[in-house]
Amino acid sequence: MARDRDGRAWAHLTANGGSGTRVGLWVGQGYRWLTVFTGDPLTPERRRKAVAIEPMTCPPNAFATGDDLLVLEPGETITHTWGIQVFAVPARERR
**Longest CA–CA separation in the chain, Å:** 54
- Out of 16-20, 29-33, 40-44, 48-52, least confident range: 16-20
Domain residue limits, the chain: 9-93
Distance CA(72)–CA(51), nearest Å, equals 31
**Looking at residue 61, what is its pLDDT?**
93
Nearby residues of 62 by Cβ (< 8 Å), 6 or more positions away: 68, 69
Burial pattern 64-81, b for ≥16 Cβ within 10 A else e, equals eeeeeeeeeeeeeeeeee
How far apart are the C-alpha atoms of 91 and 69, rounded to whole Å? 44
- Reported pTM: 0.78
pLDDT, one tens digit per residue, over 50-69 is 788 999 999 999 999 999 99
